[in-house]
């Protein structure tokens, strides 16, 4: 093996050629081509000018070995096997020609591959007619990022001027690699940020220290009704902050710029925002300062909470209505007790007192009074029973929904078909809800529908129980007109279900409630 680390100086022509190569390579690296194209041109420039046959460039990979990332040859035919081997093989530090340059950080020269002990690709190289080789490191300020190697057809003595020149080129190429990697990383980060901005469900708006919009994502376009082109560079407060809140917003920004203090940064706050059509709506907002040198910029995440607020208000109203229904129900009981049962019992008490004074008059007098008293007591009991039915149907608790619905249908003055009712027992909340939907539905039919016929069906599926009460009457049922249907809707919605009334004039009425069973 004849490998010389400090080769001799070359002749005049060589020095001239090397100078030309350095200029050409520097120009190629300065031009913004992609990595593959740049490597190919650099290999061709060096190889052609030196009259060498094959050149390859290696980069240190993520798993810390050298991989060939570009290859060039002067005249194609018999080097194919060597080329494909070079493209396939990887080298650890110290291994083969590229690995040994990586290990030492210095250029290396092989006079004749046949005689070199550390050249794993020797057979293929010889079959390709390649004998001499040199290789130099691609150096970045942070260390070696790769190597570049060249092969010639004849054994060649080392050339010091050539290797010196290649060391210079190795530094230039190293700067190129580092720059390209930085660009690549920046590009990836940009693509990632772009994807996040595009996919976000919340509005993401970025503003500079003067409050001008510099970024407005698609969700912001959707929520506020502006395109990002329309708002870019405009004062954010003018566009999306309601006029009444603008002075506060500006003061807050000023205070932050002067003191670095803010009541809003990095917290979730609820505020009012304004759309392009000047309508105002509630939002949840989190603002953060972007950690970059220079004047501060801020990014805000804004969530439209209109629906949430609406649902909260609905829930509150529905709770209030349920409380009101209970109070009304209590008043009704009080009134019924007072007007009904109490009257009968008072009358009975009077009658008994009268009887007590007449006992001496004998059975002829007391007998009829006793019969009257009996009738009054029966009426009172009937009134009580009537009342109890309104509070909680005894049949429901004792005999289940199917029987209770049959009893409701029996009592209804309109002809009712029970199309389907559950035969099995269900959780109490479901049975009670179904009972009230049918009871209110049939009461309404008797009171308003002028119907010939009504149908009731309660079906229990895997996920939900469906209750339907329909009539062939005059239609025109309206949830907003009374309290009964509204109360049903509240009851059903409180169980996570849905309630709809389908009733156009002249076409009958259909109530449909769907309540989840689990
Ligand atoms: N089956 C029906 N057919 C026709 N009109 C109906 C029917 N059900 C309800 N309505 C109408 O819808 C209104 C609201 O019903 P509801 O909420 O039960 O109130 P109410 O407490 O008056 O019974 C009723 O006042 C009535 O005018
Ligand atoms: Mg009603």
477 CA from centroid of ligand 1 (Å): 5
Together in a domain, 31 and 144? yes
Residue nearest to atom 10 of ligand 1 (CA): 477
Whether 471 lines ligand 1, by a CB cut-off of 6 Å, is yes
pLDDT bracket for residue 3 (50, 70, 90): very low
Whether 482 lines ligand 1, by a CB cut-off of 6 Å, is yes
Whether 510 lines ligand 1, by a CB cut-off of 6 Å, is no
Together in a domain, 86 and 147? yes
Average pLDDT over residues 51-59: 94
508 Cα nearest atom in ligand 1: 3
Together in a domain, 115 and 241? no
What pLDDT digit, counting tens, does each position of 387-423 carry?
A: 766 666 667 778 889 998 998 898 888 999 999 999 9
Give pLDDT, residue 344: 79
Counting Cβ atoms within 10 Å, is residue 133 exposed (0-12), middle (13-18) or buried (19+)? buried
Together in a domain, 107 and 175? yes
**How far is C-alpha 56 from the chain's CA centre?**
47
For the ranges 378-382, 414-418, 493-497, the maximum mean pLDDT occurs at: 414-418
Together in a domain, 103 and 218? no
Whether 509 lines ligand 1, by a CB cut-off of 6 Å, is yes
Whether 140 lines ligand 1, by a CB cut-off of 6 Å, is no
Closest CA to 133 of 166, 103, 105, 104: 166
Ligand nearest to the CA of 507: 1
Whether 483 lines ligand 1, by a CB cut-off of 6 Å, is yes
What pLDDT digit, counting tens, does each position of 98-112 carry?
A: 999 999 999 999 999
User: What is the DSSP pairing of strand 132-140 with strand 298-304?
Assistant: unpaired
CATH of the domain at 509: 3.30.565.10
Model confidence, pTM: 0.52
Sorted by sequence, the CB contacts under 8 Å of residue 329 that are 6+ apart come out as none
CATH of the domain at 261: 3.30.450.20
What pLDDT digit, counting tens, does each position of 297-347 carry?
A: 899 999 999 999 999 998 888 888 888 888 777 877 877 777 677 877 888
User: Which residues neighbour ligand 2 (ion) by CB within 5 Å?
Assistant: 444, 484
In the chain, the number of structural domains is: 4
Residue 86 in any domain: the answer is yes
Q: Please say which residue of 249, 273, 304 terminates a domain.
A: 304
Q: Is the pLDDT of residue 2 over 80?
A: no
What pLDDT digit, counting tens, does each position of 421-461 carry?
A: 999 999 888 998 899 899 899 989 988 999 999 999 999 99
**How far is C-alpha 60 from the chain's CA centre?**
39
Give pLDDT, residue 290: 86
409 CA from centroid of ligand 2 (Å): 16
Give pLDDT, residue 292: 83
- What residue numbers bound the domain in which 334 lies? 310-391
Average pLDDT over residues 67-81: 84
Q: Is the pLDDT of residue 378 over 80?
A: yes
Average pLDDT over residues 1-27: 71
Share of the chain above pLDDT 70, in %: 95
Residue 380 in any domain: the answer is yes
């Amino acid at each position: 093996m004849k490998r010389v680390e400090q080769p001799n100086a070359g002749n005049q022509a060589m020095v001239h050629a090397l100078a030309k190569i350095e200029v050409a390579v520097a120009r190629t690296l300065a031009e913004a081509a992609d990595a593959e194209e740049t490597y190919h041109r650099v290999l061709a420039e060096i190889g052609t000018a030196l009259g060498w046959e094959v050149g390859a460039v290696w980069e240190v990979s993520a798993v810390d070995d050298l991989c060939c990332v570009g290859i060039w040859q002067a005249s194609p035919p018999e080097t194919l096997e060597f080329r494909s081997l070079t493209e396939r093989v990887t080298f650890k530090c110290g291994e083969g020609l590229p690995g040994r340059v990586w290990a030492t950080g210095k250029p290396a020269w092989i006079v004749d591959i046949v005689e070199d002990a550390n050249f794993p690709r020797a057979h293929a190289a010889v079959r390709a007619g390649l004998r001499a080789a040199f290789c130099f490191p691609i150096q970045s300020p942070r260390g070696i990022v790769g190597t570049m190697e060249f092969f010639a057809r004849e054994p060649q003595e080392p050339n010091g001027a050539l290797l010196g020149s290649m060391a210079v080129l190795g530094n230039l190429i190293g700067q190129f690699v580092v720059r390209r990697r930085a660009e690549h990383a920046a590009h990836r980060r940009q693509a990632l940020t772009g994807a996040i901005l595009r996919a976000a469900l919340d509005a993401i708006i970025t503003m500079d220290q003067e409050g001008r919009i510099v970024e407005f994502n698609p969700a912001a376009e959707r929520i506020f009704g502006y395109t990002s082109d329309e708002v870019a560079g405009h004062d954010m407060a003018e566009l999306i902050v309601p006029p009444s809140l603008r002075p506060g917003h500006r003061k807050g920004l000023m205070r932050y710029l002067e003191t670095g203090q803010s009541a809003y940064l990095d917290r979730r706050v609820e505020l009012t925002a304004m759309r392009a059509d000047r309508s105002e709506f509630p939002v949840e907002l989190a603002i953060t300062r972007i950690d970059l040198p220079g004047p501060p910029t801020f990014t805000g995440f804004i969530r439209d909470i209109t629906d949430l607020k609406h649902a909260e208000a609905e829930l509150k109203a529905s709770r209030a209505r349920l409380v009101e229904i209970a109070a009304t129900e209590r008043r009704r009981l009080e009134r019924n007790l007072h007007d009904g049962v109490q009257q009968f019992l008072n009358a009975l008490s009077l009658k008994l007192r009268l009887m007590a004074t007449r006992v001496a008059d004998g059975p002829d007098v007391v007998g009829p009074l006793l019969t009257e008293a009996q009738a009054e007591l029966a009426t009172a009991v009937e009134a009580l029973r009537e009342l109890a039915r309104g509070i909680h149907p005894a049949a429901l608790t004792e005999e289940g929904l199917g029987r209770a619905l049959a009893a409701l249908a029996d009592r209804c003055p309109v002809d009712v078909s029970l199309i389907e009712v559950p035969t099995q027992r269900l959780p109490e909340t479901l049975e009670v809800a179904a009972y009230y939907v049918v009871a209110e539905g049939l009461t309404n039919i008797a009171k308003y529908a002028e119907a010939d016929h009504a149908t009731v069906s309660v079906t229990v599926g895997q996920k939900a129980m469906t209750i339907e009460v329909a009539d062939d009457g005059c239609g025109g049922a309206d949830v907003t007109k009374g309290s009964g249907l509204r109360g049903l809707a509240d009851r059903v919605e409180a169980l996570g279900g849905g309630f709809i009334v389908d009733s156009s004039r002249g076409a009958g009425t259909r109530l449909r409630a769907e309540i989840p069973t689990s």
